[in-house]
Structure 1
């Protein structure tokens, strides 16, 4: 079992395959972290150090490495929980009151010393993946309301200073740009305050001690929450670094009613002593095995860039026929099929088929798509409404608003208050009716603006995304074969909270194949390749104005779940033939890409190669990109990863076949040289 307990000392050890996470209860009843790192088998080795004050200005509460610090007493550090009781007391004083074990989950029970208020810390061990899951449940056993002002899901202690913190920054069209920041004195805060999504930061932390892909210590955690999150990273004055993550306390207040319980979103966390690669594999494998829907993702064609809002049945049928010709398996009609939707200013909320565009409804198009043995998908933006829509005219009270203020429009739309029972039911019923009426296999769910004027209830920021989760969960129960894609004006909703509720992530509206190499690289550190939608689109690219050869565009998009968004009606014979060849190739190798192990390979050349590897059951792929050949036009030496030392492998490259041993390929490596600008290649390596 992954949970060890020294009952006489009240010390607990969470044991995974290669790691240990240890904490215990001290003589004051405080829960203190003792260790997080490589596996230590014997729990008897741990004892509870006695803490002494540095001075009266450095009290014990400040120095104590508390598992879950609360507001009150001589604590001036970051706290995870702050409440106000009915008598207006704002101090928590917790005492340890025991533990429970349910299978592979440990529950530490804390109780306030005066009020009838329980705090339960939950720890679930995933031994095989070297991961632990942490969350907190709080329960109001009193007869009065307790106000929750702040609640984070957990705090982690790392016994080092001078660590490197990495996350992503960005904005629309430039999401998932990885940055590395040295942790020093002061606090690093990452957060979202927009409610709907954020393109700026992502709800995870990576802290490393000068790690590389394959060496060094890495501590990491990903929060299972879409919407308003916060993460705090702080190097303390006492020789350690701490991390907290949870619901953002910005404009947040939640009433915990009598006998009511609240459960926080969880954090999936882990440790690697062998660099970022192990972190990535553990998270990817956990997601593929435990979160994501089983089965390979289909090759998608989306009509947006071909038609934008000028949707018509005849034009969509022509696109579907051409999509089938090049090898697509799923045809998706994007925005513009419903209501008076001729641009961004109208239609949202009026989810009926536009009869001018589809005189006989969607059935003729869907029948044509199905007759060609393709799946059918459709775009929706259910959380939004346009002021000009019929829905808004009938229900102006359904949006987030203040009675005395004019509500903001952004992209010509309001945000519906999904926390209202009637609004939530409207969205569910609308989608259920759509899925029940038509033979739809795929829903692309978009959200194109942040929230504002969120009314008087300050827990709406959190309840909004919970309502969205609920709607999709219920729809998938009734329509279990429908795939859902999370899109938020691009890559705003990429997180472990929505992963598994939705099946695909739209990674970015930026479909430039060169830019996508950076976006996809950053994404890969935490999130599984199987959920990463990537499209081939037309050139010049609408955003970068860059012209990139089609082969490079396909290879870049083939690194994830392949989609095509070009106006394929304008393809010439060569473009159709190349598309057919590359889509056929993708179908032959996608099981390796979507379900295999992913490696970011070091480039040893002065030329700016980008190199990635995928392994699955003796099959390997190398994706090699050279966006621009620099002076010297050098090749690169590629040392492969994850092969078997004593096995032989056949390498197919440049129309030739080589046979090499696994230890040769991993230690000596392959000499690869690409020529020209926007050169790319996929090299296949198979165990003999």
Structure 2
């Protein structure tokens, strides 16, 4: 059993294969954190320390390391929950009310019951263990058993206690075209806040935390957690005066007020969390394996061709068929028709909301293109932006009250579009029926769902920030039940929806509108720390790149995109015969190594060279792939030494290099390593290897 209860006190020890997490109920009935780290042998060894206040300004409630601190009393620290009861009381006083355990296939769960000592209000703390992955999922379920509604002013899903000071906190920052830019800062006194207030989740920060004690890829302690929420989140990291570091994450309280009606329950977004004693690599591997096994849909992701950069809004059936024929010739398996196929969509000025096929562009209907795509042996995909409407669109003219707005204000436009109020039942019905009709009428295999502007002017209701994304989850889930073979890609003006809340509901992430192959190395590296490679869409696009202006060789561009789920976005009708041949070769090679890339273990390898090599390894079973990139030769055209990881020390491996095969032991390849020398600018190489039988 992974859940143990101490014999002498109410102490709970939750253990996975290599880690333990412990808390208990103290003499005041408070749920107090005790331990998080390497695996402990017994709950009976854990003791509940006696706490005394330092002074009247440092009361016991402030010092107590509570698992789920609430607002009220002599608490001045960050709290996970703040409510207003029907009579206006804004203080919670909880008491322990027992526990339950459940067990399933590969998981165990402890549910700790808490209740307010006066009001009929319950809080159930959930701790779900996945022992094989060294992961735990934490959430809280709130239940209103009163006869009147109460209001929730703040809801963070959990608090984590780390018994160290001066930790390193890592996350990402960024904006459109520059998502997933990594940063690390030392935690000191004061609070670190990461959040989103725009309605999506991840252009600016991403809903996770990583705290480490000067860890490396393969050594050192790492504490981490990823919030399963898309949209407005917040996370707080604080080093306290009492010798520990606290972390909370959950729904952003900014402009948010949730009503909990009588008899209703509310489940907070879960946090998938864990501890590694062996660096960042273990963290990534545990999250990646769990995502592949328990969150993501099965099956390898197809090589796609997307028409956007080739045609933009200048879409017509004839040219799309030409692109499809050429894409098939190159080896693409999925053709995605992007923006511009519907309504009066000739630019960003019009069309959104009018989801009928433009007859001028497709005089014989969409079926003509789909049939041509299918004749080429490819699947067909379609771009949509269901949450938005243009002011000129017929939908808005017919239903001006369907958007977020204030009656007394001029409504904001961004990218010449409004945001539909998807909390309205009639809007929900429209979006579901529109998408269901498309998927029912046409032979569609893939939906690219975009959202190109932030939410604003939400009206008098303060629950829409949370309820908006809950509808997105719901509508896609329901559509997949009816159309189970359709894959959905999450796109939000680039990488605005990358999180564990939407992963599994959607199948792919569009990582960034920045498709520059060099920039993508940084974006993909940061992405890989938390999120699975299989969901990371990466494209080969034309040069000069529309955003960076760089001209990068096609081989480098392919290698960069082959590190994820490969896509092509070039105007392939302009390819030279040499470029066609190279693309065919690269796509064929990708299909060969695709199971290793999408389902294997991913390693961010060390680079000992003074030149800036980017080195990455993928390993699945007996087969592996190495990618090496040198964007620019700098210091004396130096080479590097590639030390692989994850191999069997005593096994023999054959490494296929451009100079011929090399046979070495796993120990040699990991400890001594392989010399590698690239030269020039934007040089790259892909090397395959396998264990000898």
TM-score, length of structure 2 as denominator length:
0.99
Whether 1:117 aligns to 2:121 is: yes
Specify the SS of the correspondent of 1:454.
coil
- For residues 326 and 5 of structure 2, the distance between their equivalents in structure 1, rounded to whole angstroms, comes to 63
Specify the SS of the correspondent of 2:235.
strand
Equivalent position of 2:9 in the other structure: 9
Whether 1:260 aligns to 2:264 is: yes
Whether 1:55 aligns to 2:59 is: no
- For residues 631 and 610 of structure 1, the distance between their equivalents in structure 2, rounded to whole angstroms, comes to 15
**Deviation of 1:241 (Å):** 0.1
Once the two structures are superposed, the pairs formed by residues 553-572 of structure 1 within 5 Å of their partners are 553-572=557-576
- For residues 143 and 273 of structure 1, the distance between their equivalents in structure 2, rounded to whole angstroms, comes to 49
**Deviation of 1:403 (Å):** 1.0
Specify the SS of the correspondent of 2:550.
coil
Equivalent position of 1:232 in the other structure: 236
Specify the SS of the correspondent of 1:649.
strand
Equivalent position of 1:399 in the other structure: 403
Specify the SS of the correspondent of 2:323.
helix
Q: Deviations over 1:338-359 (max 9, x none)?
A: 0000000100000000000000
Q: Deviations over 1:215-266 (max 9, x none)?
A: 0000000000000000000000000000000000000111111111111110
Whether 1:215 aligns to 2:214 is: no
Once the two structures are superposed, the pairs formed by residues 274-285 of structure 1 within 5 Å of their partners are 274-285=278-289
Equivalent residue in structure 2 for 1:591, among 589, 595, 609: 595
Equivalent position of 1:484 in the other structure: 488
- 8 Å contact 1:23–1:35 — kept in the other structure? yes
Equivalent residue in structure 2 for 1:600, among 601, 604, 624: 604
- For residues 447 and 607 of structure 1, the distance between their equivalents in structure 2, rounded to whole angstroms, comes to 39
Equivalent position of 2:583 in the other structure: 579
Equivalent position of 2:31 in the other structure: 31
- 8 Å contact 2:422–2:471 — kept in the other structure? yes
Q: Deviations over 1:129-172 (max 9, x none)?
A: 00000000011101111111001100000000000000000000
- 8 Å contact 1:196–1:449 — kept in the other structure? no
Specify the SS of the correspondent of 1:473.
helix
Once the two structures are superposed, the pairs formed by residues 589-668 of structure 1 within 5 Å of their partners are 589-668=593-672
- For residues 597 and 244 of structure 2, the distance between their equivalents in structure 1, rounded to whole angstroms, comes to 39
Equivalent position of 1:344 in the other structure: 348
- 8 Å contact 2:201–2:499 — kept in the other structure? no
Once the two structures are superposed, the pairs formed by residues 517-536 of structure 1 within 5 Å of their partners are 517-536=521-540
- For residues 262 and 502 of structure 1, the distance between their equivalents in structure 2, rounded to whole angstroms, comes to 23
**Deviation of 1:7 (Å):** 4.8
- For residues 266 and 367 of structure 1, the distance between their equivalents in structure 2, rounded to whole angstroms, comes to 43
- 8 Å contact 2:7–2:44 — kept in the other structure? no
Equivalent position of 1:155 in the other structure: 159
**Deviation of 1:456 (Å):** 1.0
Equivalent residue in structure 1 for 2:172, among 164, 168, 171: 168
- 8 Å contact 1:384–1:416 — kept in the other structure? yes
- For residues 192 and 662 of structure 1, the distance between their equivalents in structure 2, rounded to whole angstroms, comes to 45
Equivalent residue in structure 2 for 1:505, among 504, 509, 512: 509
Equivalent position of 1:421 in the other structure: 425
Q: Deviations over 1:464-506 (max 9, x none)?
A: 0000000000000000000000000000100000000000000
- 8 Å contact 1:637–1:669 — kept in the other structure? yes
Specify the SS of the correspondent of 2:474.
helix
- 8 Å contact 2:201–2:207 — kept in the other structure? no
- For residues 58 and 197 of structure 1, the distance between their equivalents in structure 2, rounded to whole angstroms, comes to 36
**Deviation of 1:5 (Å):** 1.0
Equivalent position of 1:471 in the other structure: 475
Q: Deviations over 1:191-238 (max 9, x none)?
A: 000113440000000000000000000000000000000000000000
- For residues 539 and 2 of structure 1, the distance between their equivalents in structure 2, rounded to whole angstroms, comes to 54
Specify the SS of the correspondent of 1:14.
strand
Specify the SS of the correspondent of 2:305.
strand
Q: How many residues are treated as equivalent by the alignment?
A: 688
- For residues 649 and 586 of structure 2, the distance between their equivalents in structure 1, rounded to whole angstroms, comes to 31
- For residues 432 and 8 of structure 2, the distance between their equivalents in structure 1, rounded to whole angstroms, comes to 53
Equivalent position of 2:391 in the other structure: 387
Equivalent position of 2:309 in the other structure: 305
Unpaired runs of at least 5, structure 2: none
Equivalent position of 1:192 in the other structure: 196
Specify the SS of the correspondent of 1:366.
helix
- For residues 300 and 232 of structure 1, the distance between their equivalents in structure 2, rounded to whole angstroms, comes to 39
Equivalent position of 2:322 in the other structure: 318
- For residues 639 and 450 of structure 2, the distance between their equivalents in structure 1, rounded to whole angstroms, comes to 42
Specify the SS of the correspondent of 2:662.
strand
Equivalent residue in structure 1 for 2:454, among 430, 436, 450: 450
- For residues 203 and 665 of structure 1, the distance between their equivalents in structure 2, rounded to whole angstroms, comes to 36
Equivalent position of 1:370 in the other structure: 374
- For residues 622 and 641 of structure 1, the distance between their equivalents in structure 2, rounded to whole angstroms, comes to 11
**Deviation of 1:324 (Å):** 0.4
Runs (4 or more) in structure 1 with deviation over 4 Å come to: none
Specify the SS of the correspondent of 1:474.
helix
Specify the SS of the correspondent of 2:238.
strand
- 8 Å contact 2:540–2:567 — kept in the other structure? yes
- For residues 226 and 405 of structure 1, the distance between their equivalents in structure 2, rounded to whole angstroms, comes to 28
Q: Deviations over 1:399-456 (max 9, x none)?
A: 0011111110000000000111110110010000000000000000000000001011
The answer to which of 97-106 and 533-542 deviates more is 97-106
Equivalent position of 2:100 in the other structure: 100
Specify the SS of the correspondent of 2:686.
strand
Equivalent residue in structure 2 for 1:679, among 679, 683, 686: 683
**Deviation of 1:615 (Å):** 0.3
- 8 Å contact 1:197–1:488 — kept in the other structure? no
Equivalent position of 2:64 in the other structure: 64
Equivalent position of 1:41 in the other structure: 41
Q: Deviations over 1:95-154 (max 9, x none)?
A: 001001111111000000111100110010000000000000011101111111001100
- For residues 202 and 285 of structure 2, the distance between their equivalents in structure 1, rounded to whole angstroms, comes to 25
Q: Deviations over 1:373-405 (max 9, x none)?
A: 100000000000000000000000000011111
- For residues 298 and 142 of structure 1, the distance between their equivalents in structure 2, rounded to whole angstroms, comes to 51
- For residues 500 and 89 of structure 2, the distance between their equivalents in structure 1, rounded to whole angstroms, comes to 35
- For residues 100 and 571 of structure 2, the distance between their equivalents in structure 1, rounded to whole angstroms, comes to 59
- For residues 657 and 16 of structure 1, the distance between their equivalents in structure 2, rounded to whole angstroms, comes to 41
- For residues 78 and 367 of structure 1, the distance between their equivalents in structure 2, rounded to whole angstroms, comes to 58
Q: Deviations over 1:631-677 (max 9, x none)?
A: 31010011110000000000001140010000000000000001111
Q: Deviations over 1:527-572 (max 9, x none)?
A: 0000000000000000000000000000000000000000000001
Equivalent residue in structure 2 for 1:249, among 248, 253, 256: 253
Equivalent residue in structure 2 for 1:181, among 185, 199, 205: 185
Calculate the aligned-residue CA RMSD, in Å: 0.6
**Deviation of 1:8 (Å):** 3.6
**Deviation of 1:2 (Å):** 1.4
